[in-house]
Amino acid sequence: MTARQPLTPPYNAAQLQGRIARQWDEDIVRQLVDYVRIPAKSPHFDARWREAGHIEAAVRLARDWVLRQPLAGLEIEVVRLEGRTPVIFFDVPATPGAGGETVLLYGHLDKQPEMTGWREGFGPWTPVIEEGRLYGRGGADDGYAVFAALSAMLALDLQGVPRPRCVGLIETCEESGSYDLPAYLEALAPRMGSVGLVIALDSGAGNYDQLWVTTSLRGLVNGTLSVSILTEGVHSGDAGGVVPSSFRIARQLLDRLDDSRTGVVKPGEFACAIPAERAEQARQAAQILGETLWQRFPWASCCDNAGTARLFAQPTSKDPVELILNRTWRAALAVTGADGLPAIESAGNVQRARTALKLSMRLPPTLDGESAARAMKAMLEREPPYSAVVRFDYDSAATGWNAPSTAPWLCDALDQASQALFGKPAAYMGEGGTIPFMGMLGAKFPEAQILVTGVLGPRSNAHGPNEFLDLAYAKKVTAATAMVIAAS
């Protein structure tokens, strides 16, 4: 392989970083505090989202802030297709001396639901800043993106660094599977023009010590498994041993998908070959992260009765390479919700008529989501035990994404940004989450370079309780975004 010659950056890195940090401290943090307060749950979690007006409030907050940014020629529009969630589309012309193709920046404003388990005094819609972290739902996933995108551009313009045309697409149904995005891409692609680089700020980071580049994203099938054995609940003493438990039947059905002892998803329909390049990147990331890959999670078994930290936790493997591949290139099943189970304090000695479980199946990046959903439905519904009434209805089926080969100029720009901001090179790793937009955009602009990065580092706990945005890291990711735009 021919060694790449480092580029001479057109920006002053220290000034760029300082300007961005000041805007975060003086303005952006305040905007994000207000944003966290808005319960802008994604439509799948709030059927009355239109009437509630929270998504509109989040859109209005972001739009009004963008309009105040002194970027020459900036145009912004809230685009509303009939019957769909709104998107923000902004267009900032290239500055003098810049050439090249358009840069498209992506983010979203809708949020996951509340989730239980928040610390005392904390909550999904209660912004709290503690030890440099902004706690609350949505700041890191990924309400910060629109603010970071404009801050990056503004810092370049104020320094007089030539910058290509930049457009932005900020959606409001990403947490529901981006089901409205294809229609908006079709409508807005002509206005985007020739897109040469896509930057999505909605991903994770292996640590807070360097810039992380996401190389793949898993797909996802979300659905509800419902098992009915009776038409109404009956006395457990009368029916026990005669009527099979609906919960036990559900357990048997789940055994068709994964091994309850190991969590390994067994059917070949949910597996794919792992590319050699991704396996090598997993080995490199494992050398950087080591045991932090599993130690970063809030294990219930990590402390003794005296509160002394001890590593009693038992992850699925303690081989860091295997852990990376497990969470990026292998399927994994989770039960994320249940119905038909009364609260413990009101649970009598009654054999229940029905059990329903919300299932989340993460899929390997190159597996077709719709095919996997159909296979999952067929496996769960065939030959029901005890002739129970079994249904699996899937809400969404998203195909994952595997990044195209990274161009040498982009590799150089990423390393330069990471070295300037952290003193370490950029690192590459797949992520276990799903961003349906990436597959859609890859199909729409197949020649574009794609950079997926983000701020969801260790313990940031996106979608869970105590979600936080690490403010220092977010400032540096914003500066890295500016540096990559300048190099494009």
Would you call 81 helix, strand, or coil by DSSP? coil
The alpha helices in 259-368, defined as continuous H runs, are: 276-289, 292-295, 320-328
- Domains with residue ranges and CATH for the chain: 13-217+400-487 (3.40.630.10), 219-272+329-398 (3.30.70.360)
pLDDT at 304: 55
Largest CA distance in the chain: 83
Instruction: Judge contact between 151 and 161, C-beta under 8 A.
Output: no
Average pLDDT of the chain to the nearest whole number: 94
Average pLDDT rounded to a whole number, residues 317-329: 95
First to last CA, the chain: 23
Q: Residue 145 above 80 pLDDT?
A: yes
Residues linked to residue 103 through DSSP beta bridges, in sequence order: 166, 197
Residue-wise pLDDT tens digits, 389-423: 999 999 889 899 999 999 999 999 999 999 999 99
Q: Residue 7 above 70 pLDDT?
A: no
> CB within 8 A of 309, min separation 6: which ones?
302, 303
Residue-wise pLDDT tens digits, 274-307: 999 999 999 999 999 999 999 888 888 765 554 4
Say how far apart CA 6 and CA 409 lie, in whole Å: 9
Say how far apart CA 437 and CA 264 lie, in whole Å: 28
Residue-wise pLDDT tens digits, 169-220: 999 999 998 999 999 999 999 999 999 999 999 999 999 999 999 999 999 9
Q: Give me the long-range contacts of 129-136 (CB less than 8 A, separation at least 24).
A: 129/29, 129/33, 129/471, 132/470, 132/471, 132/472, 133/468, 133/469, 133/470, 133/471, 134/29, 134/32, 134/33, 134/36, 134/468, 134/469, 134/471, 135/466, 135/467, 135/468, 136/36, 136/37, 136/467, 136/468
Say how far apart CA 301 and CA 323 lie, in whole Å: 19
Q: What is the pTM of this model?
A: 0.88
